[in-house]
């Protein structure tokens, strides 16, 4: 009993951190409808700012100097003193940084996104998270830091007569978190600002009519949340051990749990929930070492049990169909009907086969062979997201974990109790051949996928996204890192034997130990083609219609005779099957799989890139695969930018690009490219000498000037661009500059025309449908009633 109370109390320290971050998540969600996956990263940047100012007297601004010159620089660091500033000054600086980050996040990222689908906001917050992590790595260094606590942190002996030593810091943490929670609750409950925020969350138009600016309110909420997160991390963070950019960013998971307990709505409940979560985790940590604790749960209980409870509560509270008049989610982009499937297949297949042979063992270009199969596998994984998220609208952040299920299960089914090069401990298993083991792996993924999809029957939108994160973490700790399931000792990777097909080896490793064998790339391509055609078929047939119907409107779908729950589970099942196939291919590529391949963060990153490619179409998945980390596009830019300092900024630029594309191209890149490619294709088919000449006249000068400039500056360069590439790159830059200049000129003339038109007769504008029609109905029906009754009297 004493142990129980003591361990509950010990967990309160971490619980306080969850509580404060969780209430920040609630505030942001209510203020602007964003589940801020970057919330932990906000706290991280704040605490690093604090520590850096106190330790070294530097203030590091939240951006990097990306300009590749020595004479023109972006100011990044401000030197305040030579040996650190006093703690209160550092604290004020960190809070000011939090205010700045909150404002930047609102005005640069989430304000432009206020009318996009929930998924777009999730993707943008992932972009912000990657950006801040990247900036922190560059500005503060990626290593661990041991920050000293600012609250007294001596040990209290024989705490409350429980006979154990208790850290005083945890008491402070709990006190401060409760104080903050109550203050925030009171602000939102009693002040006009709080009332206005709550009002604007319920009805934005109404708030505007009452004279409040919803955007101002949202910005204020971002600032409050960011400040609370920073303060929490500074006060409580050091108690929890060393600080790393990635580790602190991951705190968002516990905070999400706390926010979910509060239903993303109640600050008070989120606060108490966060404290309770910390306490329960600590207690489970104690119990999982006891002998009576189930062996299987031992590694994961700490993370899994609380999450499972939260999901269960949400599930029981949810409804199987949305209520009448419940708020509708913003729609995802339209999902185009796939056309010309055979043509697409042939073109992609030829490109891939060509590339596979070109890049095989081709010196420094061999990286492309690796990137090629990475991109193809990523495309398979993203196809699974197209089905689940693009077609049925369910945001799943567990697709990589499902891929992991297939990979790990296959590895275990292949194992036959022998040691391998990468794993000196033998793994027991039935030693099945690869097709059987792979099939079993995919089936396991489907089964788990349907289970992961079960909450979607009653939980919707962003809440579901958070629940799937919980599922991903559970799978990781319960299966991938669980020795009693994988039989892998000491975190060794699971070995996968290469596949072969009627004597043709499909191994990924070539004779030089590089993953560049064309046979493997073609094997992946064939699998990708099969998956892509299957997904296209789904979209073109009745199943796809039902998927999109459920995505568009669950109530109407049920009225049309669709079993909404079964349809969602079907999508999760198909998605899991495809993700499983992707996982199996990834296992074949790597020959070893480890849990690091399948963490929930990689699901987040993959979903983000799938969204950028265009999550509602098969082509979008393929473009997403090209964009994927370590894929073709990354490899290309690394290849060409090698030797320049820009290589270091890839994470930062990637995060920024993610945010930028989510704002500028909410439909994804593929639809835009498709349009362009179609025009280009049509033009190429019809173009004769005359047309070519016309284009040459239009684009030629800009290209030539660029190419000459590229050639001219070649002797001045410091990097390793080749002599051939430089003029071509220069020419392309010339074309880019031309199009930008033309675009600006066009927008100026458009503005002038508009001004001219405004001074003329006012254009007739259509009334905003809903309000106008509603008012007319109300008036009209009243009149009709009178008329009808009068008519009745006459009869």
Partner 1 sequence: MALLDIRGLTVRYGGLAANADIDLHVDEGTLVGLIGPNGAGKTTFIDAITGFTHVSSGAIEFDGIDLTSLAPDRRAHLGLSRTFQSLELFEDLSVRDNLLVAAEKPPWFAFALDLLRVSKRRSVYEDQVDKALSALGLTELADRLPSDLSHGQRKLVGVARALAAKPKLLLLDEPAAGLDTAESQRLATHLRSFLSSGTTIFLIDHDMGLVLNVCDYIYVLDFGRIIASGTSSEVRRDPNVIAAYLGQSAGEAQAREGSNLAAARASTSETGATP
Binding site for partner 1 (CB under 8 A): 320-321, 324, 331, 334-335, 341, 533-534, 536-538, 540-546, 548-549, 551-553, 555-564, 570, 574, 769, 773-774, 776-777, 781, 784-785, 787-789, 792, 795
Residue 24 CB, nearest approach to partner 1 (Å): 34
Residue 45 CB, nearest approach to partner 1 (Å): 39
Toward partner 1, which CB reaches closer, 234 or 549?
549
Are 352 and 536 in contact by the 8 Å Cβ rule? The answer is no
Question: Which residues have CB under 8 Å from 405's CB, separation 6+?
Answer: 441, 444, 445, 448, 475, 479, 580, 583
Toward partner 1, which CB reaches closer, 362 or 785?
785
Residue 791 CB, nearest approach to partner 1 (Å): 8
- Calculate the alpha carbon distances from 454 to 122, 153, 458, 627 in Å: 21, 45, 8, 31
Q: Alpha-carbon distance 362 to 582, whole Å?
A: 27
Residue 780 CB, nearest approach to partner 1 (Å): 8
Q: Alpha-carbon distance 669 to 611, whole Å?
A: 9
Toward partner 1, which CB reaches closer, 113 or 548?
548
Toward partner 1, which CB reaches closer, 749 or 781?
781
CA 53 to chain centre: 31
Are 506 and 519 in contact by the 8 Å Cβ rule? The answer is yes
Residue 789 CB, nearest approach to partner 1 (Å): 7
Query: In terms of C-beta density within 10 A (0-12 exposed, 13-18 middle, 19 or more buried), how is residue 154 classed?
Result: exposed
Toward partner 1, which CB reaches closer, 205 or 758?
205
Report which of 577, 579, 558 is spatially closest to residue 567, judged by C-alpha positions: 558
Residue 783 CB, nearest approach to partner 1 (Å): 10
Toward partner 1, which CB reaches closer, 755 or 766?
766
3-state secondary structure of 185: helix
Q: How many CA atoms lie within 13 A of 779 on its CB side?
A: 6
Residue 335 CB, nearest approach to partner 1 (Å): 6
Residue 534 CB, nearest approach to partner 1 (Å): 5
Are 258 and 150 in contact by the 8 Å Cβ rule? The answer is no
Sign of CA dihedral 743, 745, 751, 757: negative
Toward partner 1, which CB reaches closer, 155 or 552?
552
Residue 784 CB, nearest approach to partner 1 (Å): 5
Q: Give the long-range contacts of residues 140-146, CB within 8 A, separation 24 or more.
A: 140/48, 140/52, 140/60, 140/245, 142/244, 142/245, 143/244, 144/242, 144/243, 144/244, 145/48, 145/51, 145/242, 145/243, 145/244, 146/238, 146/241, 146/242, 146/243
Question: Which residues have CB under 8 Å from 624's CB, separation 6+?
Answer: 378, 379, 382, 606, 609, 610, 611, 612, 613, 614, 615, 668, 670
Toward partner 1, which CB reaches closer, 99 or 562?
562
Toward partner 1, which CB reaches closer, 49 or 335?
335
Are 304 and 477 in contact by the 8 Å Cβ rule? The answer is yes
Dihedral of the CA atoms 109, 111, 112, 118 (nearest 10)? 80
Query: In what helix (H) or strand (E) does residue 535 lie, and over which residues does it extend?
Result: helix 518-540
Toward partner 1, which CB reaches closer, 701 or 780?
780
Toward partner 1, which CB reaches closer, 319 or 757?
319
Residue 565 CB, nearest approach to partner 1 (Å): 9
Residue 452 CB, nearest approach to partner 1 (Å): 18
């Amino acid at each position: 009993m004493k142990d129980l109370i003591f361990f509950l109390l010990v967990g309160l320290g971490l619980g306080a951190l969850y509580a404060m971050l969780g209430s920040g998540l609630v505030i942001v969600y209510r203020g602007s409808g964003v589940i801020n996956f970057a919330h932990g990263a906000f706290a991280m940047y704040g605490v690093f700012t604090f520590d850096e100012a106190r330790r070294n007297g530097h203030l590091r601004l939240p951006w990097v100097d990306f300009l590749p010159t020595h004479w023109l620089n972006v100011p990044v660091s401000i030197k305040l003193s030579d040996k650190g500033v006093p703690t209160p000054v550092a604290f004020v600086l960190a809070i000011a940084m939090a205010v700045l980050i909150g404002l930047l996040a609102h005005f640069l990222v989430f304000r432009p996104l206020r009318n996009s689908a929930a998924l777009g906001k999730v993707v943008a917050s992932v972009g912000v998270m990657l950006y801040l992590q990247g900036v922190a790595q560059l500005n503060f260094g990626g290593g661990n830091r041991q920050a000293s606590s600012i609250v007294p942190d001596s040990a209290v002996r024989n705490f409350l007569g429980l006979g154990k030593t208790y850290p005083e810091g945890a008491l402070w943490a709990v006190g401060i978190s409760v104080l903050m929670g109550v203050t925030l609750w009171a602000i939102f409950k009693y002040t006009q600002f709080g009332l206005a925020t709550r009002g604007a969350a319920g009805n934005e138009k109404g708030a505007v009519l009452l004279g409040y600016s919803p955007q101002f309110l949202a910005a204020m909420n971002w600032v409050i949340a960011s400040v609370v997160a920073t303060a929490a991390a500074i006060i409580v963070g050091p108690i929890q051990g060393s600080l790393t950019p990635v580790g602190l960013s991951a705190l968002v998971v516990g905070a999400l749990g706390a926010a979910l307990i509060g239903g993303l709505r109640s600050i008070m409940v989120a606060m108490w929930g966060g404290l309770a979560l910390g306490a329960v985790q600590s207690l489970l940590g104690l119990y999982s070492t006891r002998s009576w604790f189930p062996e299987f749960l031992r590694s994961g209980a700490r993370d899994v049990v609380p999450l499972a409870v939260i999901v269960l509560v949400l599930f029981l509270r949810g409804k199987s169909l949305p209520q009448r008049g419940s708020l509708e989610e913003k729609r995802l982009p339209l999902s185009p009907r796939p056309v010309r499937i055979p043509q697409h297949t042939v073109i992609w297949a030829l490109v891939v086969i060509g590339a596979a042979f070109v890049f095989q063992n081709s010196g420094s270009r061999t990286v492309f062979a690796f990137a090629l199969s990475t991109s193809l596998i990523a495309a398979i994984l993203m196809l699974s997201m197209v089905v689940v998220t693009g077609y049925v609208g369910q945001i799943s952040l567990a697709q990589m974990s499902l891929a992991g299920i297939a990979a790990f299960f296959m590895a275990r089914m292949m194992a036959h109790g022998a040691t391998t090069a990468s794993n000196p401990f033998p793994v027991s298993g039935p030693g099945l051949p690869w097709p059987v083991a792979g099939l079993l792996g995919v089936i396991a993924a489907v089964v788990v996928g349907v289970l992961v999809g079960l909450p979607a029957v009653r939980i919707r939108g962003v809440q579901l996204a958070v629940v799937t994160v919980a599922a991903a973490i559970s799978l990781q700790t319960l299966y991938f890192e669980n020795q009693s399931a994988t039989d892998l000792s000491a975190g060794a990777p699971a070995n996968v034997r290469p596949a072969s097909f009627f004597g043709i080896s499909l191994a990924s490793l070539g004779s030089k130990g590089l993953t560049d064998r064309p046979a493997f790339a073609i094997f992946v391509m064939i699998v990708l083609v099969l998956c892509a055609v299957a997904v296209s078929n789904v979209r073109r047939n009745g199943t796809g219609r039902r998927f999109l119907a459920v995505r568009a409107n669950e109530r109407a779908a049920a009225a049309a005779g669709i079993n909404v729950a079964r349809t969602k589970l079907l999508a999760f099942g198909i998605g899991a099957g495809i993700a499983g196939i992707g996982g199996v291919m990834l296992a074949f590529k790597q020959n070893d799989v480890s849990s690091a391949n399948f963490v929930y963060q990689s699901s987040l990153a993959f979903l983000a890139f799938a969204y950028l490619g265009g999550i509602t179409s098969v082509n979008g998945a393929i473009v997403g695969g090209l964009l994927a980390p370590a894929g073709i596009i990354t490899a290309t830019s690394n290849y060409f930018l090698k030797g320049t300092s820009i290589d270091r900024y890839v994470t930062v630029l990637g995060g920024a690009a993610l945010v930028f594309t989510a704002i500028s191209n909410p439909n994804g890149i593929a639809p835009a490219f498709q349009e362009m490619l179609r025009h280009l294709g049509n033009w190429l088919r019809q173009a004769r000498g005359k047309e070519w000449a016309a284009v040459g006249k239009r684009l030629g000068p800009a290209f030539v000037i660029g190419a000459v400039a590229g050639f001219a500056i070649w002797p001045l360069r410091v990097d390793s661009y080749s002599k051939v590439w430089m003029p071509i790159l220069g020419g392309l830059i010339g074309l880019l500059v031309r199009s930008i200049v033309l675009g600006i000129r066009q927008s100026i003339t458009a503005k002038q025309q508009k001004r001219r038109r405004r001074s003329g007769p006012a254009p007739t504008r259509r009334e905003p449908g809903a309000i106008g029609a509603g008012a007319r109905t109300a008036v009209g029906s009243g009149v009709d009633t009178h008329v009808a009754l009068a008519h009745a009297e006459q009869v």
